[in-house]
Amino acid sequence: MSIRIVIADDEGVVRGGLRMILEAEEDLEVVGDAADGREAIELVRRTKPDVALMDIRMPNLDGIAAARTLTGEGTDTRIVMLTTFDQDEYLYEALRAGTSGFLLKAAPPEQLVAAVRTVAAGDALLAPSVTRRVIEAFADRGPPPKDLAASVEELTARELEVLRHLARGESNAEIAKAFTVEESTVKTHVARVLMKLGLRDRIQAVVFAYESGLVRAGEAYDSSPSQLS
């Protein structure tokens, strides 16, 4: 079954180029394109694609605002932000908007194709360690919102340990090694954390860990000797 894609960019040449690259792949199908954020929202609502490639800077409504609207509605579409600007502040705002990745328009075709397949499979496009660096640099250091702090209380002690390790940018394999358990056990705990907190992926878990006050920038964290099971 094909991966269905929507492209949103205010430049027709860019939209056409992206469409040509993606539709050259047998498993990828572009179901529509939009020239601004408002059009993108309506197109995603109507076509329900697997992935939306969203330019950050667009007229009427920018890509981050459009992404925030769609994720706020609970869309199942995975959103990847496209930009010509490799600047951390854009990345941070994109992550806070609930997107699943961030890709430069200058990326080679094979990287674009791989990115679409990655997020369509449910994975995040950015390494958690990069995400952590960005969040540490730009996240608000004020008191955490009450709703986020309350959500932390829904997690068990073991799930909190896993979330702290995620916030450090560790992979499932690294977490499994730290607690001397099978990687499948860690995957189960990660899935429970995401489900309880209503998060889409690991990137959103890292964002949550910092913005809820569970971890702080530059904070040292030593693994607990307790075992996960």
Q: Residues 21-41: pLDDT tens digits?
A: 999 999 999 999 999 999 999
Cα torsion 82, 14, 116, 62: sign: positive
Class of domain 3-126: alpha beta
Task: Yes or no: say if 71 and 96 are a contact pair by the CB < 8 Å rule.
Answer: no
> How does the average pLDDT of the chain come out, rounded?
85
Q: How far is it, in rounded angstroms, from Cα 122 to Cα 203?
A: 11
Q: How far is it, in rounded angstroms, from Cα 49 to Cα 77?
A: 6
Residues of the chain within CATH 3.40.50.2300 domain(s) are 3-126, 136-211
Q: How far is it, in rounded angstroms, from Cα 98 to Cα 51?
A: 13
Q: How far is it, in rounded angstroms, from Cα 76 to Cα 51?
A: 9
Looking at domain 136-211, its CATH superfamily turns out to be Response regulator (3.40.50.2300)
State the pTM of this model. 0.73
For residues 160 and 96, which has the higher predicted lDDT (pLDDT)? 160
List the one residue out of 44, 55, 53 whose CA is nearest residue 11: 55
Q: Which tens digits make up the pLDDT trace of 79-117? A: 999 888 766 678 788 888 888 888 888 889 999 999 999
pLDDT above 70 for 146: no
